[in-house]
Amino acid sequence: MPSTSLDAPVVLEASPAPALSVADLFTIGIGPSSSHTVGPMRAAKRFAALALTEGTPIALSCDLFGSLALTGKGHATDVAVLLGLAGWTPEGVDPDLIAALVGEIRDSGALRLDGETLVPFGAADLRFRMGEFLPGHANALRLRAEYGAGRALERTFYSVGGGAIEMEGVAAARANIALPHPFSSGAELLALGERTGMSIAELVLANESAWRPKAETLAFLDEVRAAMLAVIARGCRQEGVLPGGLNVPRRAAKLHATLSARTCAPDPSAVFEWLSLYALAVNEENAAGGRVVTAPTNGAAGVLPAVLKYYETFAPGATRAGSRTLLLSASAIGVLYKLNASISAAEMGCQGEVGVACSMAAAGLTAALGGTNSQVENAAEIGMEHNLGLTCDPIGGLVQIPCIERNTMGAVKAVNAAISPAGRRPPRRVPGRGDRDHAPDRARHGLEVQGDQPRRAGRECR
Ligand code: SF4
């Protein structure tokens, strides 16, 4: 679990650019959805603590709006709210205990608010307001605590993607953190690299010093790496059928056994079978409500771990430092999408989830393999370009079909963007970019253009 200092940033003087940390991109939580499960659980937990500061409630209720109402059942939003109100966090709850914890609340018709006071909470207190949207965001929930004599506390939260939440009327707490190397576009990032002589990973690591000492950031990165590899390992052992009613069989364990048992001469394409297996294992765990790392979301949680595992398994000379470089560089690209577009499927479609994850992973792998900053940015562009227009269309509202296989494809595209000669595109004229006709210039300006493209295309893809 991340150290507590990650949640308690040092507030410094005003920064010209909004500050986002690597810890905003990678959080260790539970499946199946960052915006529909992790975000609502955090919101409910935060409300529970707030409610207790006002006294002991005699009644509680929660209304789910927009996308949380429409697909909340399939994404376990109701379960997440119950757990959050009971004081559990996505990082802290044991996925294997969730069924028992929720069963106890439902059977008793009461929950221990933030783990303390017993308050009635029945099925009628959690309402799915189908077809009703709040203006702030497509993922909204309103929580209410009543204390008697007409006194009540009501708060509206938005789950804005990747497990992040915003409370209505409260400005983002991290807006005034000063970074040594602030950037808000691909062009600024590349210019910073040229001016300082630092790699993208080094720039990000230096920026993280605004939140915590370097040693803590490195420990956090190692923790994220370990969690990603652990999900792959667990996913490769689990069998059976995924929950939710679609009866989707888990395939990772069988595929893992098949690939491990091969004795014939290695087929070069086997690398891609392993890569797909890694993503499959993570996303089956996510669909089953297991422990995963948002990267940058749960629906797209398999792409980056798969590419990380690919790097550590198949890249000659791979090192632990290279894995850190991969994660740091990927986070720089994720920050650009968070700042200029969105990683919320409700706003962006799947290009904001798997598309962004593919772009981040392509950049990260390129950096770990020793690519220049321009090559890293170029790989990020390629990773996104071939996901533009990808819609969010999960069958039955479950993060299973096409989500699981979509992550395998995202991982394959990311590796291809990083290592294939086809990915190192020759100079060419970019439509609408005047005389910017060679690759470095295109790389400088492309990502920020694409950062807007997904948002526009997202309106068509929701
Ligand atoms: S289709 Fe993509 S964006 Fe939609 S739930 Fe699945 S992974 Fe997430």
Q: Is residue 462 pLDDT above 60, yes or no?
A: no
Cis omega (within 30 of 0) for bond into 402: yes
> pLDDT for 235-276, tens place per residue?
999 999 999 999 999 999 999 999 999 877 677 789 999 999
Token pair 């207190």: residue:
125
- In a shared domain, residues 93 and 153: yes
Q: Is 75 in the pocket of ligand 1 (CB under 6 A)?
A: no
From 350, 358, 387, 398, mutation site for ligand 1 pocket: most ligand atoms within 8 A of C-beta: 350
What residue's CA is closest to ligand 1, atom 6? 403
- Return the sign of the alpha-carbon dihedral for residues 49, 51, 55, 59: negative
> pLDDT for 147-202, tens place per residue?
999 999 999 999 998 899 999 988 655 556 899 999 999 999 999 999 999 999 99
- In a shared domain, residues 345 and 200: yes
Q: Is 394 in the pocket of ligand 1 (CB under 6 A)?
A: yes
* The last residue of a domain, from among 167, 197, 224: 167
CATH label of the domain that carries residue 69: 3.30.1330.90
Confidence category of residue 229, pLDDT binned at 50, 70, 90: very high
List, in sequence order, every residue forming a beta bridge with 120; answer none if it has no partner.
110
> pLDDT for 3-15, tens place per residue?
333 433 333 333 3
CA distance 67 to 75: 10
Q: Is 350 in the pocket of ligand 1 (CB under 6 A)?
A: yes
What the block records as the tokens of 425 is: 């595109």
- Ligand 1 closest atom vs CA 349: 3
- In a shared domain, residues 163 and 192: no
- pLDDT, residue 363, reads 97
- Ligand 1 closest atom vs CA 407: 7
What the block records as the tokens of 139 is: 């993922």
Q: Is residue 45 pLDDT above 80, yes or no?
A: yes
Instruction: Please report whether residue 285 resides in a domain.
Output: yes
The total domain count for the chain is 2
- In a shared domain, residues 438 and 302: yes
Q: Is 299 in the pocket of ligand 1 (CB under 6 A)?
A: yes
CA distance 401 to 396: 9
- Ligand 1 closest atom vs CA 297: 8
Instruction: Please report whether residue 172 resides in a domain.
Output: no
Query: What DSSP string runs through 401-446?
Result: TTHHHHHHHHHHHHHHHHH-GGGSPPP-PPTTSTT--SHHHHHHHH
Quick one: what percent of the chain has pLDDT higher than 90? 76
Residue 76 has phi, psi (to 5 degrees) of: 60, 35
> Ligand 1 mean position to 312 CA, how many Å?
27
Q: DSSP 3-state assignment of 225?
A: helix
Q: Is 345 in the pocket of ligand 1 (CB under 6 A)?
A: yes
> pLDDT for 393-452, tens place per residue?
999 989 999 999 999 999 999 999 998 765 555 443 333 333 333 333 333 334 654 545
Domain that holds residue 412: 186-461
> Ligand 1 mean position to 344 CA, how many Å?
10
> Ligand 1 mean position to 218 CA, how many Å?
30
What residue's CA is closest to ligand 1, atom 2? 350
CA distance 62 to 83: 13
H/E element, 156: strand 151-161
Q: Is 303 in the pocket of ligand 1 (CB under 6 A)?
A: no
Q: Is residue 78 pLDDT above 70, yes or no?
A: yes
Cβ neighbours, 10 Å, residue 141:
30
CA distance 395 to 246: 9
What residue's CA is closest to ligand 1, atom 1? 392
- In a shared domain, residues 132 and 219: no
- Ligand 1 closest atom vs CA 350: 3
- In a shared domain, residues 135 and 219: no
368 vs 340 pLDDT, higher one? 368
